[in-house]
């Protein structure tokens, strides 16, 4: 029986159905890989090995008895360490909260567990989910698996989930996205991240950074796995999961979805001035491949200047981060990341009228964006402007999320998929943005592109 560490959620569900593997074998393989590799990669904050083995044994018995609860039954997954599970510690990436016991289980976690998923553990995050680079000075920065010699940005804030999925430590994981926190680690770690429409998935039991912008979202190695996990997180029943899984398996093995005739928006020349040349080359190649697939592509005129939307997103989430975490950051004795303290405390100086004005302006821009998307299937951009950066060269004052934050500001959805590798064998991501509640279109385009480009493969050297 195969124990391929890069076998995804759909492939595992198929293997269980065919008798090629069992949940106990899959969990044993995952735990062994974590035991061997995570001392180097540092993706996990906590691993629940004993409970995972018990859950896997129960799943084996249920399947043998004909009581499989659905196609997600027995699938290992991880949660970003913002998501509460009753009785478990949730730290939000903060040494100050290192002993915080979760009072209840978040709806997102409850749905995944109720569908039969096996929780492997909690993955690391930047402190209070602030910061796009993925660094955490007190709790540890996960190691980007694409360069085992030089520590590079894993992407934040869902850094641990990004590394765990890319390195084959789990087939899928939950992240949260406030300004790119699922999509940037997915792009820099060479995997897939679906940023879900604001408000579509419940956020109860998730420690907030910005209650307006926070969005729990799936992180996987393939677009079809992202669609599968999204259905589970959305609370789909077993029957719907089975029907949708059948369609996704056709996408994977027989007929990828067609995007012929779809109209896509691209970035204008002036929007690409600061993009690293190799990422720009990958983006240009991605546009050519989308054209070969039959899409029509023309420059997109945003409803407001991108800089205005980036500033609006930053103002709102900084004000809200201070509301949630200001007292801890105000305490000079608190064991907190000084870069994060500085960012959160900026919210103290934002007047109420400025915050309210930003929220009102946002609503008008959301309406204008919906209007602009009536004849477009999606907008495609690079996910981030650079390949992963060596941590030694990092400027914590810089912002890597210029292509992602406007998506949160406009309350919509987007998908990050790998678009290729640079000359240094580092990944770059394609960013597919659609109208609100049109995740299916982003996934359709992503699946077609993924099939055309092919897999970039796993990070080298992890065996």
Q: 0.95 cut: is pTM over it?
A: yes
Sheet holding 215-220, edge to edge: 44-47, 118-123, 76-80, 172-177, 215-220, 192-195, 413-421, 427-434, 378-382, 263-266, 296-299
Q: Rounded CA gap, 379 and 365, in Å? A: 16
What are the tokens at 407? 């998506």
DSSP one-letter string for 297-328: EEE---SS-HHHHHHHHHHHHHHHHHHHHHHH
Q: CA 100: distance to chain centroid? A: 24
Is residue 349 annotated as part of the catalytic site, yes or no?
Answer: no
Helix, strand, coil distribution of the chain in percent, nearest 5: 45, 15, 40
Q: What does DSSP assign to residue 97?
A: G
- Residue by residue, pLDDT tens for the chain (463 residues) are 457 889 999 999 999 999 999 999 999 999 999 999 999 999 999 999 999 999 999 999 999 999 999 999 999 999 999 999 999 999 999 999 999 999 999 999 999 999 999 999 999 999 999 999 999 999 999 999 999 999 999 999 999 999 999 999 999 999 999 999 999 999 999 999 999 999 999 999 999 999 999 999 999 999 999 999 999 999 999 999 999 999 999 998 878 899 999 999 999 999 999 999 999 999 999 999 999 999 999 999 999 999 999 999 999 999 999 999 999 999 999 999 999 999 999 999 999 999 999 999 999 999 999 999 999 999 999 999 999 999 999 999 999 999 999 999 999 999 999 999 999 999 999 999 999 999 999 999 999 999 999 999 999 999 7
| Domains identified in the chain and CATH numbers | 9-243 (3.90.1300.10)
Dihedral angle, C-alpha 13, 455, 3, 17, nearest 10 °: 20
- Residue 2: the pLDDT is 55
Q: Of these residues, 24, 181, 266, 401, which one is catalytic?
A: 181
Of 76, 74, 60, residue with least CA distance to 121: 76
Task: Reply yes or no on whether 181 is catalytic.
Answer: yes
CA–CA gap between residue 344 and residue 322 (Å, rounded): 5
Pair of tokens at residue 97:
């909260």
Q: Which position among 21, 24, 94, 157 bears the catalytic label?
A: 157
124: annotated active-site residue: no
Residues forming a β-bridge with 428: 420
DSSP structure string for 403-420:
TTHHHHHTT-EEEEEEEE
Per-residue confidence (pLDDT) for residue 255, from 0 to 100? 85
What is the token pair recorded at 69?
């609860």
Residue 42, CB half-sphere, CA atoms under 13 Å: how many? Answer: 21
Which of 21, 24, 29, 80 is catalytic? The answer is 80
Buried b (16+ CB within 10 A) or exposed e, 332-363: eeeebbebbbebbbebeebeeeebeebeebbe
- β-bridge pairing 413-421 and 192-195: antiparallel
């Amino acid at each position: 029986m195969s124990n391929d560490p890069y076998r995804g959620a759909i492939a595992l569900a198929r293997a269980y159905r065919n008798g090629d593997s069992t949940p106990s074998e899959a969990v044993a393989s995952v735990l062994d890989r974590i035991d061997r590799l995570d001392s180097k990669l540092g993706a996990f904050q906590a691993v629940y090995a004993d409970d995972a083995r018990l859950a896997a044994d129960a799943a084996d018995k249920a399947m043998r008895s004909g009581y499989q609860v659905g196609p997600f039954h027995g699938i290992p997954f991880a949660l970003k360490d913002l998501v509460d599970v009753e009785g478990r510690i949730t730290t939000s990436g903060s040494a100050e909260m290192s002993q915080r016991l979760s009072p209840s289980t978040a709806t997102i976690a409850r749905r995944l567990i109720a569908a039969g998923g096996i929780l492997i553990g909690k993955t690391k995050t930047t402190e209070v989910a602030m910061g796009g680079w993925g660094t955490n000075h007190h709790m540890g920065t996960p190691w980007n698996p694409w360069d085992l010699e030089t520590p590079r940005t894993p992407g934040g804030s869902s850094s641990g989930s990004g590394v765990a999925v890319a390195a084959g430590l789990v087939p899928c994981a939950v992240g949260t996205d406030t300004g790119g926190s699922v999509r940037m680690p997915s792009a820099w770690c060479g995997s897939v991240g679906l940023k879900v429409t604001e408000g579509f998935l419940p956020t109860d039991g998730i420690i907030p950074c910005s209650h307006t912008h926070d969005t729990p979202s799936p992180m996987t190695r393939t677009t079809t796995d992202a669609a599968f996990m999204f259905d589970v997180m959305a609370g789909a029943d077993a029957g719907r999961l089975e029907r949708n899984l059948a369609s996704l398996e056709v996408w994977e093995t027989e007929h990828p979805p067609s995007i012929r005739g779809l109209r896509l928006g691209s970035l204008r020349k002036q929007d690409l001035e600061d993009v690293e040349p190799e990422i720009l080359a990958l983006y240009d190649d991605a546009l050519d491949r989308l054209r070969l697939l039959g899409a029509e592509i023309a420059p997109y005129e945003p409803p407001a200047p991108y800089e205005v939307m980036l500033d609006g997103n930053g103002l709102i989430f900084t004000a809200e981060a201070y509301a949630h975490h200001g007292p801890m950051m105000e305490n000079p004795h608190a064991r907190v990341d000084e870069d994060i303290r500085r960012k959160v405390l900026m919210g103290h100086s934002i007047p109420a009228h400025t915050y309210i004005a930003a929220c009102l302006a946002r609503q008008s821009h959301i309406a204008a964006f919906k209007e602009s998307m009536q004849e477009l299937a999606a907008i495609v951009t690079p996910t981030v402007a650079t390949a992963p950066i060596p941590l030694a060269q990092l400027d914590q004052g810089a912002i890597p999320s210029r292509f992602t934050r406007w998506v949160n500001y406009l309350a919509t959805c987007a998908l990050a998929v790998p678009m290729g590798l640079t000359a240094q064998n580092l990944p770059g991501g394609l960013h597919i943005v659609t109208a609100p509640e049109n995740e299916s279109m982003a996934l359709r385009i992503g699946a077609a592109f993924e099939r055309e480009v092919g897999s970039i493969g796993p990070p080298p050297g992890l065996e």
